[in-house]
Amino acid sequence: MVDYIPERFAPESADTEQEAQDWLDGKPGARRPPELLTRDVVARAIKAEVEAGRGSPKGGAFLDIASRRDAAFIKRKLPSMYHQFKELAEVDITAEAMQVGPTLHYFMGGIRVNAETQMTKVPGLFACGECAAGLHGANRLGGNSLSDLIVFGKLAGDGAKAYIDELSNSPKADDDQIKSIFRGGTSVLNRESGENPYVLHDELQDLMGQHVGIVRTGEELEQGIEKLGALKAKVANVKAHGASQYNPGWHEAIALNSLMITSEAVAKAAHMREESRGAHTRIDFEGERDEWLKYNVVIDRADDGSMRVRKEERPAPTGYLEEIARAKIDDLESGKVGASAPED
Ligand SMILES: Cc1cc2nc3c(=O)[nH]c(=O)nc-3n(C[C@H](O)[C@H](O)[C@H](O)COP(=O)(O)OP(=O)(O)OC[C@H]3O[C@@H](n4cnc5c(N)ncnc54)[C@H](O)[C@@H]3O)c2cc1C
């Protein structure tokens, strides 16, 4: 990892294995091992090593904690990791190195919501958590998802209550829309023959891994978007066997539509963003571009039903939000910045 330390993290990262070991041993002044850098950095490093032919037998990297800590310590600190490797991979992580590799981990981007209430553009529909907003920017740091859930789950709950309290009548659902969704679901079961939902899921997974993966180029993304178009036709003809009760194949088939929409949105947004930032790496547009700080990529449905993608300039932050946006990490940690933020 010492060969993959980005310039901005160099002052705080150990640049020799010895220094990393010293940090583990608690030696004062030793800097953090670069393996603890943000996951986009580590993921790109693993990918580069694999591509250079230095990967582990299963196409990842070796993560060795066994030679650094004793078995009792590992079992106490990482009980579920120990258990999972033992049960699922028959690897004892207290005795040998494990093979690890980067994969899809988190969605950074999501359904647009009102910042105060979490209500979406659909009245009465609220979103929070990983599906909403994309409040972590281009790089979610470890642990921040769970705090996001607590904070924005509370806001969404309060927002939903306030919305209901304001209603004078119970909302009425549109019967035609309900029938159309119902027919969409049952046609998957009723058609004589069609595509296997699990096979289509695998195809989608391969396509996204190949074309919209950790490191992207415009050309690969364009090919991916084209392939998604072709896959859409197959998804429209998906067939689930059996009845509607306890039928995971049917659920898989229904979920495919949402997976397709999400995949297309991710691929198109990645194609539009001509820079590299956080976990979004474009090797044809290296480095962060200041220009892109001004924009969000906004996706919605055009009148003809197609997916519309556009760059939207967002209002510049003001007051304490601007202070926080432009602050250095040390200033934030010292509490010097953001002190003027409201209490709640
Ligand atoms: C391997 C891994 C490790 C992680 N580690 C951390 C960590 O250490 N710290 C951290 O902060 N974050 C971590 N995260 C991220 C964090 O776990 C997730 O972002 C978070 O759990 C998302 O919560 P959520 O409630 O928004 O969504 P989810 O937990 O995904 O909940 C969505 C729920 O909706 C259900 N659902 C989906 N479709 C339908 C439907 N049609 N009808 C009804 N129900 C439906 C799903 O079954 C699911 O239960 C990790 C993620 C992964 C994958």
Domain of 193, CATH number, reads 1.20.58.100
| Amino acid at the residue 264 | E
Angle in degrees, CA 50, 78, 81, rounded to 5? 50
pLDDT at 323: 84
Q: Which structural domain range is residue 161 located in?
A: 106-165
pLDDT at 344: 56
Of 145, 259, 273, the closest CA to residue 221 belongs to: 273
Answer with the one of 43, 65, 100 that is the final residue of a domain: 100
- Ligand 1 lined by 149 (C-beta under 6 Å): yes
Question: Are 184 and 291 found together in one domain?
Answer: yes
Mutational test site, ligand 1, from 104, 130, 151, 259, max ligand atoms within 8 Å of CB: 130
CA distance 238 to 253: 6
Question: Are 128 and 59 found together in one domain?
Answer: no
Question: Are 144 and 130 found together in one domain?
Answer: yes
pLDDT at 327: 81
Is the Cα torsion angle 280, 283, 289, 291 positive or negative in sign? negative
- Ligand 1 lined by 335 (C-beta under 6 Å): no
Helices and strands per DSSP (H, E), number in the chain: 11, 6
User: Which atom belonging to ligand 1 lies closest to the Cα atom of 255?
Assistant: 41
CA distance 297 to 302: 15
pTM score, whole prediction: 0.88
Going by C-beta distance under 8 Å and a sequence separation of 6 or more, which residues neighbour residue 121? Answer: 112
Asked if the structure places residue 170 within a domain, the reply is: no
Question: Are 199 and 277 found together in one domain?
Answer: yes
Asked if the structure places residue 253 within a domain, the reply is: yes
Low-confidence ranges of the chain (pLDDT < 70): 338-344
Asked if the structure places residue 48 within a domain, the reply is: yes
Is the Cβ–Cβ distance between 275 and 288 less than 8 Å? yes
Asked if the structure places residue 26 within a domain, the reply is: yes
- Ligand 1 lined by 106 (C-beta under 6 Å): yes
- Ligand 1 lined by 73 (C-beta under 6 Å): no
- Determine the distance separating the centroid of ligand 1 and the alpha carbon of 330, expressed in angstroms: 31
Asked if the structure places residue 27 within a domain, the reply is: yes
Mutational test site, ligand 1, from 104, 108, 145, max ligand atoms within 8 Å of CB: 145
Answer with the one of 142, 165, 188 that is the final residue of a domain: 165
Q: In this structure, which residue's CA is closest to atom 52 in ligand 1?
A: 105
Question: Are 118 and 160 found together in one domain?
Answer: yes
